Amino acid sequence: MSTYRMTIEYDGTKFAGWQFQKNGRSVQEVVEKAMFQIMQVPFRIAGGGRTDAGVHATGQVASFQYPPDLNVKKLEHGMNAVLPEDVGVSALHKTDDDFHARFSAKARRYEYSIASSRAVIGRLFCWTVYRALDFEAMEQAAQLISGEHDFRAFCKTAADAEHYRCIVNFARWSKSERGFLFSIQANRFMHGMVRALVGTMVDIGRGSTRKEEFEAILNSYDRSKAGMSAPAKGLCLKEIIY
């Protein structure tokens, strides 16, 4: 058997997340069904990032195994012909036999988009925050995230989590045409981590939480100390680094 790598883009609005679920539409299930429709054999793919309900991706990666004679162009073109309009395959090729979309990943990069005025076109891909935000205060908070930290204050408790430590390569805010963009790259992410970070930093930008409190919240390991989770629709998995 050979190993294949697929890059997938999707609009997460109508999905319950990446991973297969019994009571919800998942990206994994939709992609596997499309593969079966083309090849008439069952597939099980592994995803590189377990995005939550409503979260988008332009750089999701999946891997699967199949005999070495797979016609990758035929499969890619066929899938894009039968997949629903909110999912697409942007690349598909044979890769190293020991490659695994999840376990081979070195880092993942997410972006979160905020609009500062009403967004009609693109409204499904950003959080509209009408109140003026203090960019400098949010950026100062973001600088404290870089490095290795325990992110229990910014994630949902997971019974199967061995630990909550993540190494953040960078975390920064930038100004965009419509508002603000938060970019973060780390070796791993805890469940709900980026949205909790963004929600807390927006509280700082609004002035409802002092920027001096952010480090204390980070070190509290207490989710109740942090702010609300930002809406899922503003979050996008941009890239998985191998």
In tens, the pLDDT along 99-147 reads 999 999 999 999 999 999 988 989 999 999 999 999 999 999 999 999 9
Q: What is the pLDDT of residue 159?
A: 56
Q: What is the pLDDT of residue 180?
A: 97
All CATH 3.30.70.660 domain ranges of the chain, comma separated, are 107-241
Give CA angle at 59 (78, 142), nearest 5°. Answer: 165
Task: Provide the total of helices (H) and of strands (E) in the chain, helices listed first.
Answer: 5, 10
233 touches 127 (CB < 8 A) = yes
Q: What's the pLDDT tens digit per position in 69-98? A: 999 999 999 999 999 999 999 999 999 999
Q: Which of 11, 52, 86, 160 is catalytic?
A: 52
What is the pTM for the complete model shown?
0.94
Q: How far apart are CA 241 and CA 59, in angstroms?
A: 10
Q: Mean pLDDT score of the chain, rounded to an integer? A: 95
| Mean per-residue pLDDT, 193-213 | 96
List Cβ<8 Å contacts ≥24 apart for 32-39.
34/78, 34/79, 34/82, 34/83, 34/87, 35/64, 35/75, 35/79, 37/78, 37/82, 38/74, 38/75, 38/78, 38/79, 38/82, 39/75
Q: What is the CATH number of domain 107-241?
A: 3.30.70.660
Residue length of the chain: 242
Answer yes or no: 52 catalytic: yes
All CATH 3.30.70.580 domain ranges of the chain, comma separated, are 2-95
Can you read off the two tokens belonging to residue 62? 């999946």
Fold of 2-95: Alpha-Beta Plaits (3.30.70)
- pLDDT of 165 above 60: yes
Q: CA quadruple 71, 72, 78, 83: dihedral positive or negative?
A: positive
pLDDT band at 162 (very low <50, low <70, confident <90, very high): confident
| Mean per-residue pLDDT, 224-230 | 95
Q: How far apart are CA 147 and CA 138, in angstroms?
A: 17
